Structure 1
Amino acid sequence: MIVVNELSKVYDDHLAVAGVTFQLQQGQVCGLVGPNGAGKTSTLRCIAGLIGSSDGEIRVNDLSVTLNSAAVKRQIAYVPDDPPLFDDLTVGDHLEFIGQIYDIPDARTKASYWLNRFDLAGKYDAGATTLSRGMRQKLAVCCAYLADPKILLLDEPLTGLDPPAIRTLLDSVHEMAENGKTVILSSHLLAMISEVCTHLLVMKSGQAVYFGPKSGLVGDGVGAESLEAAFFAATESSPLEMVAT
């Protein structure tokens, strides 16, 4: 579903992403982790087609992101770490808007399901500017889920969420994968995302220092008992030592 080959992204004289290569299949959940400034958000934005890559190739469901931008975007939902909601719309307006632009059958029923699932039903008529940081995050996730994309790109989606909302989000990601969605989940909350990830992409200074199944980095016989321990081991090693075959 996602093929990234030698992706590079340069901003002026800064190399943010340097030759990153990986691929994900349908139903896989990839934890994208790395220190601040590692290139995680730039990688996600390039896959989503929101910014152009400087070099390399990205294909989504066998479509080139560069040559088929509109078709690719119809298959992707991207939730940034600080969702840019419409200040003059209510919670309900946001979901109605998504339902209309994606021409979603029975959109109100599906929107109601997600609002109830994320404990936002009571905020249906509330304006976006009245929402807390966590509520804004949950609304953005509800909008993404309502669009029913084949690929979900979630950039720090746990930021600002309380423990029940974190559990709801992680459970929903697992369900999405079981239903054939491909998910990339970026987060610094390593212990929390570890349970839902099938794969890991660890980045440092724009490079992929590890990509492969989670079992190749965390678990018996590989030297790391937790994702946190594996993260420190990977980011303290050279890229050639850590990239999975």
Structure 2
Amino acid sequence: MKKRTLPDALANECALLKALYVAKRKEMNLTQSDLADALGVSQAAVSHYLNGENPLNTRVAAIFAQKLGVPVQAFSPRLARQIEQSAAAANLGAGLSNDANIQYVGQPRLSFSYPFLSWVAAGSWAEANEPYPPGFSDRYELSDYEAKGAAFWLEVKGDSMTSLSGMSIPEGMLILVDTEEEARHGKLVVAKLTDSNEATFKKLVEDGGQRFLKPLNPAYPMMAINGNCKIIGVVVRALMKL
């Protein structure tokens, strides 16, 4: 798989952050493992941020800045402005709450933009566009979810995740996939066969030490994971476009 590339502005933020990390890691006695613990992600994810493979977000930038002892402005004026705007809204709310005639209704919810990349089959393994290609698309969708790593939208094809009761993800819905969210029992995941360009969307279940991909539609069988596939990411949001 080819290495992903970020837009220049986002890649430059990562490059500045990496330069700061290299310059200050000895002084701060800081390792990538320390950063991973602080961020709650894998060490590989930290490397992806520093090497410009994953874009920075406000949470990640704030934690990096705190650990390095620098302002976010030093590597990302863009994210520094977003953090300042959020803080200003929170301070405004604190001030208004003291006025009996005016009540603050909460900090505005931030929106995050993620690329729409492809489609994924909710059924048997199906040939699909690479669900995690290099670069970004010309289409983006917003979400209130702040991803832990690189994230993207996919469109669901097929009906194996359509259920008559409980959770149902019918054909045509968009799903947001976070590549750094932990894939554990009960999570909805996108998986890809290791020896081909075939992908599927299923629920991950564990039973007796064995992992399975389970459809929400009972008419479809479960699929055992026997080292023949890779979990691309966890589905964290679903969106129906009207």
TM-score range, shorter chain: under 0.3
Q: Please say which structure displays the higher CA radius of gyration.
A: 2
Length-normalised TM-score, structure 2: 0.23
Higher helix share: 1
Length-normalised TM-score, structure 1: 0.23
